[in-house]
């Protein structure tokens, strides 16, 4: 049998069909400076040009033999489209992500425009998806969106949002309903673009910030609405930080797979959820790919992730673009070689 393409490998993973080896990919940002340097451009420019965004995603994957690409790279695009502005840091030489400069300060100010999907950089990102699908048909194409609670924190100051949960509960809940509908609109839109998977990242809703009781009331029901809207492509529920106390509720939201970061006790999570659930994670990308200098340590971290019962070794958050080349190579090589053994939910050919 000929070797599977990256696209085939990722598609089979989500279908829980036997694979030749574990795919190496991410549902978070995975652009690297080595790709940007090879293209002769700057990090600041890849967020505003469809071709540069597409080429940087493809080049990053090709350089390190990844199985998929995922865009966009920053969290500010939807807030920008709503009229909250954007700080692009276009004159910066290093790695600085775009940010939102003008968040709403009160619930009364909030006014989400009906035509936001045609505003800002969202049409440009759509064009980047089309370019990737045309020029890299062998790679899986992933889209990610912010979950409702985390998106709310991008368009409104988080401390005001949290205070509103206590002092103005009904108005805050109504606002979260609005933001949930935005997330639903976005995932439906990316389905129409025929991506291969959608990662919903409500990373700001872990139990470092919210109690399990608040999560069950404010986050879980809204995430379920989002995953109910994803009907045509595989979906991933990703939350950063502490998730041990909410992992079962995360599963109940209805995603095809769960993604957790390094704070999650994956062995315990696997025991709670059983072997039929697709579970991704859970290494610290900054430490593992940018700080460690001993490749044996990098290899050991990735192997431990596999031994702990993961079906795909995902970084716990975005890969910091300024990675060490050797670390990234070791990560991918270890996944491809050590991942030839079956994972709990997915067999091998």
Neighbours of 204 (CB within 10 A): 23
Q: Which residues contact 139 (CB under 8 A, 6 or more apart)?
A: 5, 6, 7, 58, 61, 66, 67, 68, 69, 132
> How does residue 106 score in pLDDT terms, banded at 50, 70 and 90?
confident
Mean pLDDT across 302-325: 98
Query: 10 Å Cβ neighbour count for 247?
Result: 23
d(C-alpha 256, C-alpha 19), whole Å = 17
pLDDT of residue 2: 67
pLDDT-based confidence at residue 118 (cuts at 50, 70, 90):
very high
Give the pLDDT score at 36.
97
Q: DSSP class of residue 313?
A: E
**How far lies 236's CA from each of 169, 283, 312, in Å?**
29, 17, 12
Distances (CA, A) of 257 to 90, 125, 239, 281: 36, 25, 12, 11
So what's the pLDDT on residue 93?
Answer: 82
- Identify the three-state secondary structure at position 19: strand
Task: Kindly state the average pLDDT of the residues 54-58.
Answer: 98
Query: What fold does the segment set 23-338 form as a domain?
Result: TIM Barrel (3.20.20)
Average pLDDT along the chain: 95
Domain boundaries, the chain: 23-338
* Predicted pLDDT of residue 206: 92
Q: Report residue 262 as tokens.
A: 């390094």
Question: Collapsing DSSP states into helix, strand and coil, what is residue 232?
Answer: coil
Mean pLDDT of 271-293: 98
Cβ(166)–Cβ(110) under 8 Å?
no
Residues 27, 67: Cα–Cα separation, whole Å: 12
Length of the chain: 349
Which position has the token pair 């493809």? 58
User: For the residues 255-263, what does the mean pLDDT come to?
Assistant: 98
Distance CA 262, CA 204 (A): 15
**Residue 258, strand partner residues:** 237, 279
* Residues 331 and 299: beta-carbon distance below 8 Å: no
pLDDT, one tens digit per residue, over 321-340 is 999 999 999 999 999 999 99
Residue 4 near residue 20, CB atoms below 8 Å = yes
Decide if pLDDT at 170 tops 90.
no
Question: If pLDDT is split at 50, 70 and 90, which confidence band does 253 have?
Answer: very high
The alpha carbon torsion through 112, 99, 122, 80 (nearest 10 deg) reads: 30
pLDDT band at 91 (very low <50, low <70, confident <90, very high): confident
User: Does residue 165 register a pLDDT over 80?
Assistant: no
Question: Given the structure tokens 């940002």, which residue do they identify?
Answer: 29
Contact 183, 220 (CB under 8 A): no
- The residue-averaged pLDDT of 135-148 equals 98
Asked if residue 1 has pLDDT above 60, the reply is no
d(CA 29, CA 32): 9
Q: How far apart are CA 329 and CA 289, in angstroms?
A: 9
Cα separation, 179 vs 335, whole angstroms: 37
What was the pLDDT predicted at 209? 86
């Amino acid at each position: 049998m000929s070797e599977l393409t990256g696209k085939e490998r990722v598609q089979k993973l989500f279908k829980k069909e036997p694979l030749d080896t574990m795919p190496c990919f991410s549902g978070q940002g995975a652009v690297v400076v080595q790709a940007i340097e090879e293209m002769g451009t700057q990090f600041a420019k890849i967020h505003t040009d469809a071709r540069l965004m597409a080429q940087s995603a493809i080049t990053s994957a090709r350089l390190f033999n990844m199985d998929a690409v995922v865009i966009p790279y920053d969290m500010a695009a939807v807030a920008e489209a709503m009229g909250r502005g954007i700080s692009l840091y276009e004159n910066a030489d290093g790695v600085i992500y775009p940010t939102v400069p003008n968040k709403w300060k009160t619930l009364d100010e909030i006014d989400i425009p009906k035509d936001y999907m045609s505003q800002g950089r969202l049409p440009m990102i759509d064009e980047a998806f089309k370019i990737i699908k045309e020029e890299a048909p062998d790679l899986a194409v992933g889209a990610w969106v912010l979950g409702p609670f985390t998106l709310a924190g991008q368009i409104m100051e988080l401390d005001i949002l949290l205070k509103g949960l206590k002092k103005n509960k009904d108005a805050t809940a109504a606002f979260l309903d609005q933001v949930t509908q935005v997330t639903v609109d976005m995932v439906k839109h990316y389905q129409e673009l025929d991506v291969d998977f959608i990662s919903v990242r409500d990373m700001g809703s872990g139990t470092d910030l919210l109690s399990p009781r608040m999560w069950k009331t404010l986050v879980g029901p809204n995430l379920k609405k989002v995953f109910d809207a994803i009907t045509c492509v595989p979906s991933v529920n990703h939350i950063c930080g502490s998730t041990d106390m909410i992992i079962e509720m995360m599963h109940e939201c209805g995603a095809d797979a769960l993604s957790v970061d390094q704070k999650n006790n994956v062995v315990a999570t696997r025991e709670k959820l059983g072997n039929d659930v697709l579970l991704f994670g859970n290494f610290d990308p900054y430490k593992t790919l940018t700080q460690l200098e001993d490749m044996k340590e990098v290899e050991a971290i990735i192997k431990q992730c596999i031994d702990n019962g993961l079906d795909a070794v995902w970084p716990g958050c975005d890969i910091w673009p300024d990675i060490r080349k050797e670390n990234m190579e070791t990560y991918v090589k270890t996944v491809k070689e050590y991942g030839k053994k079956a994972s709990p939910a997915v067999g091998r050919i």
